[in-house]
Structure 1
Amino acid sequence: MGKYTISEIEQLLFGKEEANKEILKVLKNDSRKGVQKLLLKWERQEELKKQVHEQFVNMTSFERKCKSEGFHNIAGIDEAGRGPLAGPVVAAAVILPENFYLPGLNDSKKLTESKREEYFEVIMAEALSVGVGIISAAEIDEINILQASKKAMLTAVNELAVTPDYLLIDAVKLDTPYPFEALIKGDSRSISIAAASIIAKVTRDKLMKELSLVHPQYGFGANMGYGTPEHLNALREHGVTEHHRKSFAPVRESIH
């Protein structure tokens, strides 16, 4: 193995092909520090891959249970934007195919923006069906945020092109004809709910970035409507827009 350079060994370990077991055995006996360093890096990477795979498998437990009970089209449901002072609440319903595999899929809040956007594209391309529900700030003020979140979720379910036969919902009980289970912290326990959380969050963030072009002074593109110090200062200075939730205390207090 001595004829291989460090960079060639790096290619063998981290290239597209899976590392050969025989080569690994030889590398373990290679006394060069650089080789041992690469080997340690490779072992850590493999351990991380294993953990991510195990996490994904654990997050399919509710889906597997439903399928064992005869359900096939299982929709995961979640919402984004319950806490902000401005913008709509957005919900998504997602039915994933049987063999769906996206290691690293998790609650959208635990992922970076670029990772969410990458996963959004994969989910949209591979899901059997995706539905989205959007409830405006004005309607949130009319019916309250909990009812608006539920309405967004029911709208998302109705928007599915494939009829679900079971719903896995993040923490909320819905008045629906479909059997369902409401899971506390479901977005980090079920792949279907995690997928829905990503669709809802990315969809809402895009809407808030569009609103920021119309109302740049509130910084919606960065704060997504949450009550950051900059946003609260802008409310005091410029007042409220039609996109603000007037039933939320910090907004109500800014109405001149």
Structure 2
Amino acid sequence: MASANGQTTKRKKKVPVSECAKALAKGNILQCLPLELRQEVFAFAAFDYVRSTSSLIEASGISERTHEWLPPMCHVNDDFFFESLPIFLKHIDFVIREASTAYGLYFFLQATRTFSCVHSLSYHAASTLTPFFAGPQLLKECNNLRHVWLKFGSDDFPSIHRHKKSNPPFKLDRKAFLENHSFRQLLSLKQIEKITICIVKKLTRLGATVEEERREDEQVWGVVGWLKKKYLRRNLAVQIVSLIPTVSWPPVT
């Protein structure tokens, strides 16, 4: 492009805001924007990334040294990382399948000081809620949680947790169940909006392990009613959803 003095000037190319990872090579143009605008850009990029991939992040793949699970905008430089990470974490549902994998997530959030940015946690085994382990500690530290998913298997409830002389004979010992799975940690959450409790029973069909179909139910052995009563006393309107399995086909023997 020719200027008024006859010199040729090159027209600067525009960098799409969604390609944050390329901003470093283009001179970090986003860092020239006010903080409020940068946060809007990061929020859009985080939502777009989650929509195009998945909002589910396995805790087993998280550590202080592995960042592959993070979106491109977190890899530009340190400033981008610390500004965009809190926004990204709000859109993520962390899945914890084993008690040991919760430690990686816990130490990462501790190192980045982003416990309060996590809005959703999913516990997919009773062992992940064992007291004094990292799973319950996450419930305590992530004080801005909006949704918690608790998944149990029917084999997670040994006979010691049940009243042997009750009618019906398999009534859950609610007190032992709540204490052994850190349910009281949920009551400390002041921003919680929804709790989903899921119980599944594994079946063997044609050599493959599958799960029974789930259906909605009002009670999970008295746990749902107990939680609702406790939250009402705290003036918190929390949606509590229970999922109880039904047999979709007879197990093959």
Scaled by the length of structure 1, the TM-score of the pair is 0.27
Q: Taking structure 2 as the reference length, what is the TM-score of the superposition?
A: 0.27
Would you tell me which structure has more strand in proportion to its own residues?
2
Indicate the structure with greater helix content. Answer: 1
Considering Cα pairs closer than 8 Å and 6+ residues apart, tell me whether 1 or 2 has the greater RCO: 1
